[in-house]
Structure 1
Amino acid sequence: MYQNSQMLAQYNHGPTAVSIDHACKVKKNRTYVRVVVFIISVILLLFVGGTVSAWVGNGDAHAKGAAPVQVYVVVHQGDTLWSIASSHAAKGQDLREYVFQLKKLNNLKNVTIYEGQKLLLP
């Protein structure tokens, strides 16, 4: 029994055991390298995609912001600047300021408006 243990110990410490350990280490190193390469590839892909998206997206944003939509309202009988302002002003906006903007935008000298007149809304 003792001789079998000695032979087994000698067999385990021989060159075969060393090469198995070395092979495992090489395999682990290859795995780590593959993981690192994969992570770097993903980061690079995200960076390039984000850069291209931002570069292309900025042109669209400027094109949309360059030509704001102008909204008109046609004056009906009984309308006043105050009634137009109260129906079209943003919630919480000062109506006096909105009337002032209406007058300035439409080059009105006073608050007199006429039926059928088109007014540009601020």
Structure 2
Amino acid sequence: MTEIIVFVIVVFALEFLFVKFIRKKFNITVYPNSERYINQTHKQSERILLLIAVTLFILSYFFNYLIVGFAVTLLYALVYRAYMEFRFEREEREYVITIVKSLAFLVVITGAPLIYFA
């Protein structure tokens, strides 16, 4: 169990450092509010995805394999945010940061079970 905790901490520490490097290299500004929505469709879509993720998380208490759906839904929400940022605010390059965060989350949700069951 400690291997998983160390793995998650290392992945998110590397993600933090990589985001700092990318922000400095591409001169991407830090927004005080992380819940920036591009438009109303983006806002509603992310809220629906979050509602689906919370529902799957609650149902995973009763059904074993729905926790995978929860993780995939959160990953899909991150990828959707990156797509909306790329599509509508390409010049700000915030989508690069979102892609890095999505990749870090993907590494955690695939690596943690591999470490646990190996």
TM-score (norm 1): 0.23
For the pair shown, which has the larger CA radius of gyration, 1 or 2?
A: 1
Higher helix share: 2
Higher strand share: 1
Q: Which has the higher relative contact order, 1 or 2, with Cα contacts under 8 A spaced 6 or more apart?
A: 2
